[in-house]
Each structure stands twice: as structure tokens, then as C-alpha cells.
């Protein structure tokens, strides 16, 4: 019995030191892992934030470039017919949109849907105005009709989408 007490006298403090060392070491490793994860998140944000901002800039530019006012000013040429202008307008919208479609991964799905909806609304606006004008009429008549229809809207689809983009960018900060 005295031998067992003698063994316990030496092993009990050793076990206590071992357990406390193990618990402290475990906590240190856990804290270090949390710190590394936090640093990695911060580093990723430093990399992705500029890329996301660039995507928002590109979408703002896309919206400005597909706005009816901009399209008409840029694409309307003398001696162009209504049908030719409509084709140019629609091709330009598709081209601009296709050029920026990959940027959708950097914005929220809701904002992406609003941008797609804006594109669709602009196309509908152009097609609706085109139906009222003869295909061989001068292109300026189509431009005039599109701008008149746009002015009848309470708020331009482009402006609505731009407001959503700006709001989302503000939420990044």
C-alpha cells in the first residue's frame, strides 16, 4: 500500500501537469487556427473587393451604354432606315451584354436579375416603338419614338438598375 501511495505521489502531479499542458496547448493551437482563418479572410477581401468594384463599374458602364439615349446618339446615322436602326440597336445591346455577362459572379443574384430585366425592358421599348413606324421610314423617327416612349415612363429602367447597383456598392462598405 505504501508503494502505491509513493507511486501516486509522483504520478498525480505529473498527470496534472500533463493535462494542464495539453489543455493549454490545445487552446493555443485553436486560437492560432482562428487567427490564420481570419487573416486569410482579410487577405481574400483585399483581393476580391477591387475586383467586385470593377464589376460594378462595368455594369454601370453597360447600363449607360445600353440606355436608349446613348444608343440612339451613337448608332443613328444619316440615311439609315428604321429597320436598320432597330437591328443596330438590338445587336449593340446584345453585344454589350454578352461582353459583360461573366461579371455576374461578383454581384448578388437579385442585382443580376434587375440588370437582365433592364436589358429586356429596353429591348421591348425599342421593339414597341418600331412597330408603330414603317420599316423604311428614316431612322430619326424611330429614335424620336423611342425617346418619347421613354419619357412617358415614370422612371427609366436604366436609372432603377443604376440605383440598385449604387446601393449594393454602398453595402460593401
Please give the full DSSP string across 1-34, using - where no structure is assigned.
-HHHHHHHHHHHHHHHHHHHHHHHHHHHHHHHHH
Task: Look at residue 60 and tell me if it is in a domain.
Answer: yes
Q: How many domains does the chain have?
A: 1
Task: Look at residue 9 and tell me if it is in a domain.
Answer: no
pLDDT confidence of residue 43: 87
Task: Print the domain residue range for 84.
Answer: 50-172
pTM of the model: 0.76
* Exposed e or buried b per residue across 26-38, where buried means at least 16 C-beta atoms within 10 angstroms of its C-beta: eeeeeeeeeeeee
pLDDT confidence of residue 1: 77
Task: Look at residue 7 and tell me if it is in a domain.
Answer: no
Q: Containing H/E element for 137?
A: none
Task: Look at residue 40 and tell me if it is in a domain.
Answer: no
**What 3-state DSSP class applies to 113?**
helix
Quick one: how many helices (H) and strands (E) in the chain? 6, 0
Task: Look at residue 159 and tell me if it is in a domain.
Answer: yes
CA atoms within 13 A on the CB side of 60: 14
- Cβ neighbors of 83 (< 8 A, separation 6 or more) are 130, 135, 136
pLDDT confidence of residue 91: 97
Task: Look at residue 11 and tell me if it is in a domain.
Answer: no
Task: Look at residue 3 and tell me if it is in a domain.
Answer: no
Task: Look at residue 1 and tell me if it is in a domain.
Answer: no
Q: What is the mean pLDDT, run by run of 10 residues, along the chain of 173 residues?
A: 83 92 95 93 85 94 96 94 96 96 93 97 97 93 95 94 95 82
Amino acid at each position: 500500500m505504501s508503494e502505491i501511495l509513493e507511486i501516486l505521489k509522483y504520478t498525480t502531479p505529473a498527470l496534472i501537469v500533463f493535462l494542464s499542458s495539453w489543455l493549454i496547448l490545445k487552446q493555443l493551437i485553436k486560437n492560432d487556427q482562428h487567427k490564420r482563418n481570419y487573416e486569410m479572410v482579410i487577405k481574400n477581401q483585399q483581393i476580391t473587393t477591387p475586383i467586385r468594384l470593377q464589376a460594378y463599374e462595368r455594369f454601370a458602364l453597360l447600363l449607360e451604354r445600353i440606355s436608349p439615349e446613348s444608343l440612339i446618339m451613337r448608332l443613328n446615322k444619316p440615311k439609315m432606315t428604321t429597320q436598320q436602326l432597330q437591328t443596330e440597336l438590338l445587336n449593340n445591346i446584345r453585344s454589350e451584354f454578352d461582353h459583360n455577362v461573366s461579371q455576374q459572379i461578383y454581384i448578388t443574384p437579385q442585382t443580376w436579375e434587375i440588370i437582365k430585366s433592364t436589358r429586356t425592358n429596353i429591348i421591348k421599348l425599342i421593339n414597341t416603338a418600331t412597330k408603330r413606324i414603317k420599316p423604311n421610314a428614316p431612322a430619326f423617327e424611330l429614335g424620336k419614338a423611342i425617346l418619347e416612349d421613354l419619357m412617358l415612363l415614370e422612371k427609366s429602367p436604366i436609372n432603377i438598375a443604376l440605383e440598385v447597383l449604387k446601393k449594393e456598392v454602398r453595402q460593401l462598405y
